[in-house]
Amino acid sequence: MTSGLLAAALVSGTFLAPAAHAVAGTPSAANAYAFTARLDIGDGKRACSGTLVDRGWLLTAAGCFVDNPAEAQQLLPGAPKDATTAVIGRTDTTSTAGQVRTVVELVPRADRDLVLARLAKPVTTIAPAALATAPPTVGETLTGTGFGRTADEWAPIRMHQGRFSVDGADATTVNITGVEGAAVCAGDAGGPVFREQGGTVELVGINSRSWQGGCFGAPEEETRTGAVESRVDDLRTWVADTVAAAPFADYNGDGHRDVAVADPKATVAGVAEAGLVRVVYGNGVAPSEVVQGGPGVGGGPETKDGFGAALASVDFNADGYTDLVVGTPNEDIGTVADAGLVQVVYGSPAGLGKGRAGTGYEQGSGTGALLSAASETKDYLGFSLAAGNTSAGDPYILIGAPGEDLEPSAVDAGNAFYVRGSTSVSINQGKDDIGGEAEAGDQFGYSVAGSPNHLAIGIPNEAIGTVADTGGLQILKHELNANKIPTPVKSLHQDTDGISGGSEANDLFGKALSMTSYRPSGAATNGDSILAVGSPGEGIEIEGVNKAGAGRVVTLRVTAGGAVSELEDIQQERADVTGAAEAGDRFGEQVSVVSTRPRSVGTDTTLLLAVGIPGENEGTAVDSGAVQTFSLLGAPGLTDRWIVPGAAPGLPGVPGAGELLGSSITATGTHLYIGMPNGPGTRGAAHLMPWSNVTGGPVQPVTSYEPGKGGLPAVGKAFGGAIR
């Protein structure tokens, strides 16, 4: 059974009646082997089977997704070329049992006919199949399931199963033969074969090619029931690493990391400071430009709009292409100045904005709370943004409007809007269970953050008692409460029990926020969160002298049950931390955290924090700035790294006065993005530093982007102001 096997025929090319084809064997009992999936590729163009191997991933045959399965074609990573739906756990296709999911990403295996297929939402009600730990042995009997043809049915309504004997195996494949009339038929490609021992199931292989003897539609003279399976018993590490990896922005769905860099002060079509976003694609495609009024983006450029002042990314429409969320806080809505606007620019095979039209969010339009609100002068909607997916897989956007007036006496009290699904809700201090009161100048929503489990909203100008601008924050979880807003978890400030320090004027506690999921040791999932809180105005006393505006960062753990506790008080006067607290450093002006393996137990090398210190003086370069990285676990002085131009981690250049390094930072799963909108030069720059450069791994080259280089136009004013 080598090249003569009918590879193409294992992929069913036509759907008739219910979309089902099955292993030529006996019908499976209801709910049996529920990890088996049926794949509809291209809305009836092709049918395959698959296996749930993780709550968010299927394992199936790569040949299901190539143009011609009969030819040796390489499957490229990224979003499926054809829309693909998976039905998992539905043994009877006429029922509504099981779960239906969209496949949004493919990660092929180069050495065999296998691909991991990521689902838009996790499946939590069906146990995945465990991969075998031992190879198959000759004479061993395995079980196979699938939705392919049977001996007398082109489109059976039930999943079938059969028994197969192992004939032999090599490094990547297993040869099997059907027992008692069983055969692997068209539509079974990607289906599982497994061993059963002591009530447990171990996945051994995935259907690849078959002679199809006895299958409906096969030549009558073909009687061979042999098949070739792709081995999986040696792929546990590959599967584990793939499903545990942090997601990255892929705006054109080709499986390569893409980067969006904003210049919110750029001139567009002669309009000063209208703002734009430049997109650099990871596969060598020429950079593109995203502007208001351009492809896939509504509106038009206006003076000092600041398009791109805030960015976030998420696959908002769950089609496998990352979408860019763009804040334009100074957008005029009609005659209302600086009301603000948020737009979702959708990814597509051709890149950002080259597919469907974008979606805009403004007050007084749309649905829900946004529709019932009114755009007012200097609301600054979109000043801050957070976006991602909940633990259930639902995409969301959290939008800050810190200039929102909630009542005549509460000017600039601030507001936030939570967008999920087709509607939106508002969150502010006038709502029940939200801590504090809506007061003038609070600027609720100045900063926002989110993880799959929780949300956080900063109130940096909150007065605690009579102490002005000391700051605070509100933590919530995604589940909506009886008032139809995300459920409040805790409101806190520096006088809250368990939080170090104390509330002092101009601390600005909560001016910067960033949050990531956390799986502690012994936990089954990453249901906790870690939140970093920047307090850049904090004064640090050294030998009786207060260093005003030296700054600090507090990290908090938020458990799945809602308990909040402080992890660390991080500042430059902590033991073994590089640097010294100086007046005006603004340590914590920006913070960004990430879990580089969000599904795995967190460690000191996978849970990482970057802190921006834009007021740092480096030598004689005043306000040149710096970035400092830490682990989110353990004493900060054990893991900190100092990043300035020309130093060991690899940031290019030399420190320059007024560059304010640290004013734009984003932590991603593989790199720390460092924007330098204030220099070097007059246009700005952006740098992508591999995390291994600061975590003790091999030092790798830093990727740099600068207007006038690498295909980027030689124009700009604040390139690197935000990066996603």
**Does a structural domain hold residue 258?**
no
Q: Encoding tokens for residue 47?
A: 């049918």
Residue 160 has pLDDT above 90, yes or no: no
Whose structure tokens read 């011609």? 68
- Where helices occur in 178-325 by DSSP H, the ranges are 236-244
Picking from 244, 266, 281, the residue at the C-terminal end of a domain is 244
3-state secondary structure of 394: coil
Q: What's the CA gap between 358 and 298, in Å, rounded?
A: 7
Q: Does the pLDDT of residue 139 top 50, yes or no?
A: yes
Q: How many residues are there in the chain? A: 724
In this prediction, residues 501-516 reach a mean pLDDT of 98
CATH number for the domain including 194? Answer: 2.40.10.10
Within a domain: residue 321? Answer: no
Mean per-residue pLDDT for 178-190? 84
Helix ranges, 166-284 (H)? 236-244
**Is pLDDT at 631 greater than 80 in this prediction?**
yes
Q: Is residue 695 part of a domain?
A: yes
Neighbour-count burial of 286, counting CB atoms closer than 10 A to its CB (0-12 exposed, 13-18 middle, 19+ buried): exposed
Give the pLDDT score at 262: 99
In a domain, 342, yes or no: no
**What is the predicted pLDDT for the residue at 17?**
25
* Beta strand 512-518 pairing with 528-535: antiparallel
Phi, then psi, of 637 in degrees rounded to 5 = -70, -10
Please report whether residue 435 resides in a domain: no
The pLDDT-based confidence of 108 (bands split at 50, 70, 90) is very high
Q: What is the mean pLDDT of residues 356-385?
A: 97
Choosing from 180, 210, 244, the residue where a domain stops is: 244
The pLDDT-based confidence of 4 (bands split at 50, 70, 90) is very low
Give the pLDDT confidence score for residue 30 in this predicted structure.
58
Domain count, the chain: 2
Of the three residues 186, 218, 244, the one that is the final residue of a domain is 244
Contact between 674 and 249 under an 8 Å Cβ cutoff? The reply is no
pLDDT of the residue at 11: 55
**186 pLDDT tier (thresholds 50, 70, 90):** confident
Q: Please give the full DSSP string across 56-69, using - where no structure is assigned.
A: TEEEE-GGGGSS-T
**Integer CA distances (angstroms), 606 to 19, 246, 562, 600, in order:** 42, 10, 23, 9
Domain with 189, as residue range(s), is: 8-244
> 187 or 684: whose pLDDT is higher?
684
Is 445 in contact with 363 (CB distance < 8 Å)?
A: no
Instruction: Tell me: pLDDT of 382 over 60.
Output: yes
More confident call, 201 vs 72? 201
Question: Is 313 in contact with 326 (CB distance < 8 Å)?
Answer: no
* Mean of pLDDT values over 687-710: 96
Query: Residue 242 has what pLDDT?
Result: 97
Distance CA 328, CA 401 (A): 11
Give the pLDDT confidence of 581-605 residue by residue, as tens digits: 999 999 999 999 999 999 999 999 9
- Flag whether pLDDT at 28 surpasses 70: no
Burial 52-76 (b: 16+ CB within 10 A, else e): bbbbbbbbbbbbbbbeebeeeeebe
Looking at per-residue confidence, does 153 or 49 come out higher?
A: 49
Strands 130-131 and 200-210 turn out to be parallel
Q: Which pLDDT belongs to residue 514?
A: 99
Whether a cis peptide bond, with omega within 30° of 0, leads into 649 is no
pLDDT at 20: 26
Whole-angstrom Cα distance, residue 578 to residue 641? 7
**Of residues 216 and 111, more confidently modeled:** 111
Flag whether 559 is in a domain.
yes
pLDDT at 355: 94
Dihedral sign for Cα 467, 469, 470, 475, please: positive
Please state the rounded mean pLDDT for residues 266-295: 96
Which CATH number characterizes residue 523's domain?
2.130.10.130
Cα 669 from Cα 452, distance rounded (Å): 15
The answer to whether the beta carbons of residues 494 and 539 sit under 8 Å apart is no
Question: Is the residue at 406 inside a domain?
Answer: no
Q: Where are the beta strands (DSSP E) in 493-643?
A: 512-518, 528-535, 540-542, 545-547, 552-558, 564-570, 590-595, 607-613, 626-631, 641-643
3 state SS for 566-583: EEEEECCCCCCCCCCCCC
Task: Report the percent of the chain where pLDDT is more than 90.
Answer: 83
Distances 681 to 449, 469, 525, 685, 717 between C-alpha atoms, Å: 31, 34, 46, 9, 9
What average pLDDT does the chain have? 93
634 strand-pairing partners: none
| pLDDT category of residue 700 using cuts at 50, 70 and 90 | very high
Q: Which of 53-57, 145-149, 652-656 has the lowest mean pLDDT?
A: 145-149
pLDDT digits (tens, 9 = 90+) for 46-81: 889 999 999 999 999 999 999 887 776 789 999 999
State the average pLDDT over residues 439-448: 98
Residue 224: pLDDT band (50, 70, 90) is confident
**Residue 521, pLDDT above cutoff 50:** yes
Could you tell me the pLDDT band of residue 23, with boundaries at 50, 70 and 90? low
Answer whether residue 696 shows pLDDT above 70. Answer: yes
The predicted pLDDT at position 190 comes to 93
The pLDDT score that the predictor gives to residue 154 is: 64
In the predicted structure, residue 625 carries a pLDDT above the cut 70? yes
What average pLDDT does the segment 572-586 reach?
Answer: 94
Label residue 27 by pLDDT band (50, 70, 90).
Answer: low
- Percentage of the chain with pLDDT > 70? 95
Q: What is the pLDDT of residue 216?
A: 76
Report yes or no on 152 lying in a domain: yes
